Structure 1
């Protein structure tokens, strides 16, 4: 009987110890680290959560972050979360992060939860004006380029005066020399009939000399006129 009682007591004690170890093992396995700083002109929170229970289809771990008392992010994670989260804020003043971890493997739902201390200096971002990015001034507006004045159409030049058409030279008129032909003057010389003295009268032979004598006078006058005409013509040429 005593041995049975001793065995029962040892069994109960072993069960208690085992339960305590199983309960305490996960709590001692969770590692948590938070650190805030200025970095690259922003307020940055470094998060390092390890050795948590893995994420399942219906169970997961949560991390909730606030900045300056305002909601910032909620992140789901599994067995670990190693990340950094940044916010663009005014770095000339102080800022404060706050984090809450909700782990699903605690017995009462809050056993392995974690909240950062509101006064934790690792969660404070001190003013760091040297990290403030310079404000880029907008480029000075260049005055609008003056548009070149509209080109005036070139003034129409008066048409060049065409030189007067050269008139053909007046045809030289060859003076026509008119040779006046002097009228032929027929001089009729009438031979004077010299009366024959009665004393020397020849005996009448029955023939008259008046006709031959007249013909000779006409021929003589015509020859004289023709000679005058020929000389006049030769002098005009």
Structure 2
């Protein structure tokens, strides 16, 4: 009775060992060829990380990472690859796409070849640049005015002297001139008086004679 029981226990133990080995093997396969991409933006720092592990050394394994449609990095790896970018622009949103290819799963049926996505929102405000005030300094207007030409041609003021039509008065004979002749002025005056008196007498006689007739 005890021998049979021992055999049953032995068989059970063997079965348990095989079952454990099978489960361990399945777990190992399931956990192999793992990878992911993660992104975050915190305290004005935007980062993205690629983590690939448990791939087969010697297989053809490649990876490519894009950021908003533009290639950020790519390469080949063996058992695994890990890389972090920690200087991404924190003022914009990022959409990352990781593409992994392995020769162990060329069709992606086992999901060892896969495409994964990760996003990181902006976490930093954009500060508009400070525009310096426009220069308002205006150069002083030139106030220097050239002096006006004040030089005028001289006006001709020549005036013809008025011609006097009046005869110049006869110059009175100087006493010195009469003295130079040696004659006295009394004699001519006496002769003139006699002639005047004679003429007056003749005129009176003529009038009397005429009245008597």
Higher Rg: 1
TM-score (norm 1): 0.36
TM-score (norm 2): 0.40
